[in-house]
Amino acid sequence: MQTIDPIHGPNNPTPEEVARMKVKYYGSIIELRPEKEREYRELHADVWPEVREAIAKANIRNFNIYVTEIAGKRLLVSHFEYIGSNPEADFALIGNDPTTKEKWWPLTDACQIRLPGTPEGSQWMPMEQVMHLD
Amino acid sequence: MQTIDPIHGPNNPTPEEVARMKVKYYGSIIELRPEKEREYRELHADVWPEVREAIAKANIRNFNIYVTEIAGKRLLVSHFEYIGSNPEADFALIGNDPTTKEKWWPLTDACQIRLPGTPEGSQWMPMEQVMHLD
């Protein structure tokens, strides 16, 4: 698991702005194809620099993915912080990175099965937050 | 959803120490009894002050709980940050709060069904982290 330096481009708040803002938390879930689990783990143990940069530019921080199993289904759970002010616009930016759109997502989407009820246009199913404690 | 001020007791790092440390992330999962979902949501929309204080003293921050449904099962997913240096000792501290141990946990445990494979002595099943991006 690697880390990258924070990026402070035109769409990113300064560290001082981040300290003042109310961070938003996003949790979501998707099924993992068992026969693709090894490939998925290998990809995510060393996420490509272009993909990490696109995520950071979208004001996403502390992005964790977990694996679990429920009722015989392998599942991926994702959790991240959003530190921008326009999540829809920022998340849409990620698809502007050609490496992410044309190379990374085709590989990762092939490892996943979208869950019933997932909104149109979304790969992962959002989970509803029922508690937040600072 | 309420927030509390950070607590800086003898077991808690200072804000400066937090800024320097490597935060650890914990994700876990448990089944929710459908007939108890309303009660669970009401409890967690306004967590009792004693419970919030016990969690903060245990060096747990940004504690979120989500609800989702997989294969007909209602599920709770929890995610938090740990900012201390001895997670086992700090997490065990929470049970020292009499309100949490004698009043809160009996209510919340009755809303949950432990999942197969959950370690002995643990209510929630830990999920394995397969990616972290700062």
Query: How high is the ipTM of this complex?
Result: 0.87
**Structural domain of residue B70, as residue ranges?**
21-127
Give a yes or no: residue B5 inside a domain. no
3-class SS string, chain A: CCCCCCCCCCCCCCHHHHHHCCCEEEEEEEEECHHHHHHHHHHHHCCCHHHHHHHHHCCEEEEEEEEEEECCEEEEEEEEEECCCCHHHHHHHHCCCHHHHHHHHHHHHCCEECCCCCCCCCCCEECEEEEEEC
- Confirm or reject contact between B83 and chain A (CB < 8 A): no
CATH code (residue B80) = 3.30.70.100
Cβ neighbors of A11 (< 8 A, separation 6 or more) are A57, A58, A59, A84, A90, A93
User: Would the CB atoms of B129 and A79 count as touching at under 8 Å?
Assistant: no
Give a yes or no: residue B13 inside a domain. no
Give a yes or no: residue A119 inside a domain. yes
Q: List, for residues A51-95, the tens digit of each pLDDT value.
A: 999 999 999 999 999 999 999 999 999 999 999 999 999 999 999
Size of interface A-B (CB pairs under 8 A): 139
Nearest by CB to residue A128, choosing from B4, B66, B127, is: B66
| Number of structural domains in chain B | 1
Q: What SS3 state is found at B54?
A: helix
The confidence band for B22, taking pLDDT boundaries of 50, 70 and 90, is confident
Give a yes or no: residue A14 inside a domain. no
- Confirm or reject contact between A46 and chain B (CB < 8 A): no
Q: List, for residues B65-87, the tens digit of each pLDDT value.
A: 999 999 999 999 999 999 999 99
- Confirm or reject contact between A45 and chain B (CB < 8 A): yes
The burial class, CB within 10 Å (0-12 / 13-18 / 19+), for B94 is: middle
- Confirm or reject contact between A94 and chain B (CB < 8 A): no
Q: What is the mean pLDDT of residues B31-44?
A: 98
This prediction has a pTM of 0.88
Task: Determine the residue among B37, B60, B66, B76 to mutate to test chain A binding: the one whose Cβ has the most chain A Cβ atoms within 10 Å.
Answer: B66
Give a yes or no: residue B14 inside a domain. no
- Confirm or reject contact between A63 and chain B (CB < 8 A): yes
Give a yes or no: residue B39 inside a domain. yes
